[in-house]
Amino acid sequence: MESKLVIYNTLSRKKEKFEPINPPFVGMYVCGPTVYGDAHLGHARPAITFDVVFRYLQYLGFKVRYVRNITDVGHLENDADEGEDKIAKKARLDKLEPMEIAQLYTNSYHRNMEQLNTLKPSIEPHASGHILEQIEMAETILKNGFAYESNGSIYFDVEAYSKKNHYGKLSGRVLDDLMSNTRELDGQSEKKNNADFALWKKASPEHIMRWKSAWSTGFPGWHLECSVMSTKYLGEEFDIHGGGLDLLFPHHECEIAQSKVATGKDSVKYWMHNNMITINGQKMGKSLGNFIKLDELFSGKHELLEQAYSPQTVRFFMLQAHYRNPLDFSNSALKAAEKGMLRLFVAMETLKKIKSSEDSTVFVKDLINKMYDALDDDFNTPILISHLFDAVKMINSIATGNDTIEANDLFYLQSVMNDIVYVILGLKGIEKSDDSNEKLSEVVNLLLNLRMEAKSNKDFATSDKIRNELTKMGIVVKDTKDGFEWSIE
Ligand code: ZN
């Protein structure tokens, strides 16, 4: 399979020609959500980034197995209250099964991903469904001499690993610094070194999610699930591993180390990381009050939002930045994206109706080559979109008679624009009746029925008020024989 695609590899810190290990097959693993809460803006970027990677690789003819996991085993996090994991705490407060909560949030994540028009992964394994395999990998690492048991927990021995391997090669961290600088963590005293990390943790009495192992009743360390599930479904060596830049360290660095000593191989050929989202220039965080859930974004119900933004607008907005660059989120930037996207979609409609001429005065092939070059250059969607807007100008110029296009060129432009906009970038085009339009119709019909009631009761003050208020909002009401008609100005 020949392609011109180059991918920036976080591991080598340079762009590399994309040559899969076993073409035409491509194995891609992306770290999925931790299902402890509603999906937020931070979930949207990796989902959309790797959706476009998935879509474009398939478009190029590769047979992609895309694995994205669900983290549902309730791992301890540094900021968890008193060491109680988040799922366990909510389960206790709401009297729910922990798996009931994980399912609830998994469902809402899936709903949001569908709204964003991301394709479903080929396999979506749950960490809780792979406890035995995680215990097995911990045993192998222990047997190979790169882990130790301490008070019922198993820790990865970073010092032993570092004798022959470079711990820190992905993130660029220096081991000596890690040994001395790592913040004091829970269970710290059990570890030989600060940099060591848990493969298995003995559960404290209040920890609800727990499984039996030879060492203790406990739960696997978070990093382990990704090493286990990627190896299980993609093999000991696979092509692409993706995730957010926030996972670079420690998560991915630990994955590299675990997989290496468990299988003896470097598991991943291309490491890809999407950059982070800031909000009005600030890092997103619950404590900063700028934490926006996807449902809030789509409904406009958040104090930082001036309006609702459709999932498609959010998708287009994210694709206007390169995935490796930070992206700042603001009302003005989103509104600009919404406008630009509409201009593109109107041109797509115009393109359907354009008539061909004898000759072309436009250079279709040059423009299209530039579009594919942008995609091949590490999925450079902002450059691609700038060329799409060049195409918009071209289309409008043909439509107004300032330029002409010959039949083959027209067919080529139509089919490639359709492929790029809808198949590769995953946009849907003008949405004729989305949810919010349907809701609006219901509300207007309700008001106008109330108005008819008022009129029949000779309450003309109310009837006029409803009509005038609607008119102010740009909704034109016309009385008819059978009732009413209305339209939006
Ligand atoms: Zn992971």
Whole-angstrom distance, CA of residue 95 vs CA of residue 201:
25
CATH superfamily of 6-274: HUPs (3.40.50.620)
Cα 241 to averaged position of ligand 1 atoms, centre (Å): 9
How far is CA 360 from each of CA 242, 261, 363, 366, 416, rounded to the nearest angstrom? 43, 61, 7, 13, 17
- For residue 223, report the distance from its CA to the centre of ligand 1, in Å: 6
* Closest alpha carbon to 109 in 101, 269, 477, 464: 101
CA 487 to CA 489: how far, in whole Å? Answer: 6
Domain ranges of the chain: 6-274, 279-424, 435-488
- The amino acid occupying position 371 is M
Of 322, 71, 110, the residue nearest 220 (C-alpha):
71
State the pTM of this model.
0.86
Are the beta carbons of 356 and 406 closer than 8 angstroms? yes
- Cα 224 to middle of ligand 1, angstroms: 8
Q: How many A from CA of 150 to the centre of ligand 1?
A: 25
How far, in whole angstroms, is CA 409 from its chain's centroid? 35
CA of 251 to the centre of ligand 1 (A): 6
User: Can you state the angle between helices 311-319 and 41-59, rounded to 10 degrees?
Assistant: 70
CA of 229 to the centre of ligand 1 (A): 9
**What is the rounded distance in angstroms from the CA atom of residue 226 to the CA atom of residue 73?**
13
Domain 279-424 has CATH 1.10.730.10: yes
Residue 282 CA to ligand 1 center (angstroms) comes to 25
334, two tokens: 């989103």
The strand order across the sheet containing 153-156 reads 147-150, 153-156, 197-202, 217-220, 211-212
**Token couple for 226:** 């990704």
Instruction: Answer whether the bond into residue 311 is a cis peptide, omega within 30°.
Output: no
pLDDT tens string, the chain, 489 residues long: the values are 678 999 999 999 999 999 999 999 999 999 999 898 899 999 999 999 999 999 999 999 999 999 999 999 876 554 434 456 677 777 778 888 888 989 999 999 999 999 999 999 999 999 999 999 999 999 999 999 999 999 999 999 999 999 999 999 999 998 887 776 555 555 457 899 989 999 999 998 878 889 999 999 999 999 999 999 999 999 999 999 999 999 999 999 999 999 999 999 999 999 999 999 999 888 887 777 788 999 999 999 999 999 999 999 999 999 999 999 999 999 999 999 999 999 999 999 999 999 999 999 999 999 999 999 999 999 999 999 999 999 999 999 999 999 999 999 999 999 999 999 999 999 999 876 556 667 777 788 888 888 988 988 999 999 999 988 888 888 888 888 777 888 776
264 CA to middle of ligand 1, Å?
A: 19
How far away, in angstroms, is 30 Cα from ligand 1 center?
7
261 Cα to the center of ligand 1, angstroms: 17
Q: How far is the CA of 245 from the centre of ligand 1 (A)?
A: 12
